[in-house]
Amino acid sequence: MKVLAVMGCSKFGNTTEIVKYFIKSLSQKVDIQVEYLYVADAGIEFCVGCHNCIMLGEKKCPHYQKVRLVEEKMMSADTVILASPGYMFSVTAVLKNFLDHAAYNCHRPKYFDKKMILIGNFSKWQKKGAFIPMESWASGAGFDIAGKFFIDMMPFPDSENVLNKKRETIEKAAFKISKKLISENPRKLKFGDVAVFHTFKVLSKIAPNILIADNEYFIENKAFDSETKWYIKTKVPILYHWAGKLMEKIVKRQVIKATDMEKLKNVKGRHVTRLENNGN
């Protein structure tokens, strides 16, 4: 099994130590080949918020070539690890920058046959905020999240007793996650997975000249066909499907009510709403 560790951290810090110990523990349960990719080494410039990746397609991103190299490595792996210390109750800027560049995947997911492991180096107070960007992106991009855990590694020496407890936490996580990695059970959908599918589908249908890449993606994947229930063929709970169809109607009604549909016909690509001049 090929594992790619995408590291939003220093090569010489505590987060690296956590991931390496986890890999060591995991390798005792699963036969794995590991590659470490430090996002800082990719040299990806900061996202400028042009929305080209979402509106026109990822190849229109001004930093596409560098982002593509990271994504190609992810596509060639069976399992991807996202790892980050907690900075200001979130992930590091360098990892968040990559997730911003790759956010188009939440509109047009492609990592359906891959698993994801989320690893954090932060306190319980940072846990919620730091896991949100990692988990939201991984789920939206199509990954099956095999597990997540965090360790609080302070920047000063722990006692051996405290260290043993942290080692035990990592070893337990490795054991639990290893069972998910070797499982052949298909990804179990959450309602949020289905809701996102129906929401982006109806938005791309309403505004095909703005969400150009999304609309092409949904057409290519036959998402507008009545029998299509998710991005790929998989078991979708009937209640999720019905709720998703209802959500489509609600979203469509609300968007049409709030939008100048005549002006929408003449918009192509990103539209910027001017708050002056009567909103034109």
Q: How many domains does the chain have?
A: 2
List the structure tokens of 193: 């997975």
State the Cα torsion 194-195-201-204 to the nearest 10°.
-150
Say whether both 51 and 146 belong to one domain.
yes
Tell me: the pLDDT tens digits for 214-259? 999 999 999 999 899 999 999 999 999 999 999 999 999 999 999 9
What is d(CA 151, CA 120) in angstroms, rounded to the nearest whole number? Answer: 6
pLDDT at 278: 60
**Residue 65 is part of a domain; what is its CATH number?**
3.40.50.360
Tell which of 163, 182, 201 closes a domain. Answer: 182
The order of strands in the sheet holding 2-7 is 33-38, 2-7, 79-85, 115-121, 144-151
Tell which of 135, 158, 182 closes a domain. Answer: 182
Say whether both 176 and 195 belong to one domain.
no
Say whether both 154 and 263 belong to one domain.
no
Q: What is the DSSP string of 129-191?
A: HHHHHHHHHHHHTT-EEEEEEEE---SSPPPHHHHHHHHHHHHHHHHHHHHHHH--PPPPPPH
What is d(CA 84, CA 7) in angstroms, rounded to the nearest whole number? Answer: 6
* Predicted TM-score (pTM) of this structure: 0.92
Tell me: the pLDDT tens digits for 177-189? 999 999 888 888 9
Say whether both 226 and 115 belong to one domain.
no
pLDDT averaged over consecutive 10-residue blocks of the chain (280 residues)?
A: 96 94 96 97 95 95 96 97 95 97 97 96 94 96 96 88 95 96 89 95 94 96 92 94 95 95 88 74
What is d(CA 178, CA 173) in angstroms, rounded to the nearest whole number? Answer: 8
pLDDT at 195: 95
Say whether both 226 and 148 belong to one domain.
no
Domain that holds residue 105: 2-182
Say whether both 113 and 238 belong to one domain.
no
Say whether both 218 and 249 belong to one domain.
yes
Nearest CA to 20 out of 200, 9, 274 is that of 9
Nearest CA to 100 out of 8, 192, 18 is that of 8
Tell which of 125, 160, 182 closes a domain. Answer: 182
Say whether both 132 and 14 belong to one domain.
yes
pLDDT at 155: 83
Say whether both 13 and 55 belong to one domain.
yes
